[in-house]
Amino acid sequence: MAVGGYARGVYGVPGRVDRGSSFAIVKNNKGGVDITMDGTNFSYAAADKQGNGYYRSDGGGAHQAHSWESAADKHSFSQLWSYSFEENVNSTHSGFAVVGAETKPEVLVNKASATYRGSMGGHTIAGPMQGDWRQLVSKGMDSTVLDVQFGANPTISGTISNMQIRDSVNDGKGWGPFRDMAGTLTLESAPISGNGYEGKVTADAAFINSVGFTKFENGKYAGRFYGPNGEEAAGVISGDNNVGSMFLGGFRAWE
């Protein structure tokens, strides 16, 4: 389980990156799913399903969760989800989470070193309002490249590039067209502990400029291996610009 999120208090006030969140999702008897976020349950019925996600609006708040899966996925041992739970105008949590069938740590001990390639998804929040968001997606299924060294002192590192970006429009009620963007995120080398890892993320000048930031600080990534033989590596990413302005995303890659 890996979660990275954006928590906002009073509407219009800059939020903060919340890396200690918890996220769980299970099917329910209503033909939908139950999602638990930091101990609060959000239940969706079959009628709430829209595309790859679920949406519900009630009690002055909107709740939605979207799976970034596609037919091009090679495996199905993990899922990358984005979520936005607005219980009311004074409480919003948005972010990314990975759920799936985690690899048993002992399986990775004797695994050969490998390169994992895959996709990414993300949002930049340029300000405290929904209308300030941008969305990033992979241009291909090899935008995420991870170098995984198993053995006595296992490590993981990698890069994320070859992306497209689009702007939110109409005060956050829609999206403009995707366009190619320059820039690379570097996942610095980090130790693998058990079946998980956590490390530092840096962004080059081209990425910072492409997303409209002035800097990229406190970059972090965290994730786990998924599948019976560690076939997948997936996790979440975050980085700060100014107060209330940040990048949140996730990645999935396959051996």
Nearest to 93 by CA among 104, 103, 101, 83: 83
Q: Where are the beta strands (DSSP E) in 44-184?
A: 49-50, 53-58, 61-67, 78-88, 91-100, 114-125, 133-138, 144-149, 155-160, 163-169, 174-175, 179-181
pLDDT at residue 87, rounded to an integer? 62
pLDDT at residue 13, rounded to an integer? 38
Nearest to 79 by CA among 34, 134, 23, 117: 23
Q: Provide, rounded to the nearest whole percent, the portion of the chain with pLDDT above 90.
A: 45
pLDDT at residue 173, rounded to an integer? 65
Tens of pLDDT, residue by residue over 46-77, are 998 888 788 887 655 566 776 765 434 555 78
- Give first-to-last CA distance, the chain, whole Å: 19
pLDDT at residue 59, rounded to an integer? 59
Measured CA to CA, the distance from residue 70 to residue 52 in angstroms comes to 9
Task: Provide mean pLDDT across the span 182-196.
Answer: 97
Stronger pLDDT, 249 or 158, i.e. the higher one = 158
Task: Provide mean pLDDT across the span 202-223.
Answer: 94
Whether residue 216 is predicted with pLDDT greater than 80 in this model: the reply is yes
Q: At a CB cut-off of 8 Å and minimum separation 6, what does 119 contact?
A: 68, 70, 137, 138, 141, 143, 144, 251, 252, 253
pLDDT at residue 80, rounded to an integer? 86
pLDDT at residue 169, rounded to an integer? 81
Backbone dihedral angles phi then psi of residue 46, each to the nearest 5 degrees: -60, -35
Ramachandran sector of residue 244 (left: φ over 0; alpha: ψ -120 to 50; beta: rest)? left
Whether residue 155 is predicted with pLDDT greater than 90 in this model: the reply is yes
Nearest to 183 by CA among 223, 218, 221, 216: 216
Tens of pLDDT, residue by residue over 107-151, are 999 999 999 999 999 988 765 555 567 889 998 888 999 999 999
Domain positions in the chain: 2-254
pLDDT at residue 117, rounded to an integer? 96
DSSP string spanning 41-54?
EEE--GGGEETTEE
For domain 2-254, the question of CATH label 2.40.50.140 is answered with no
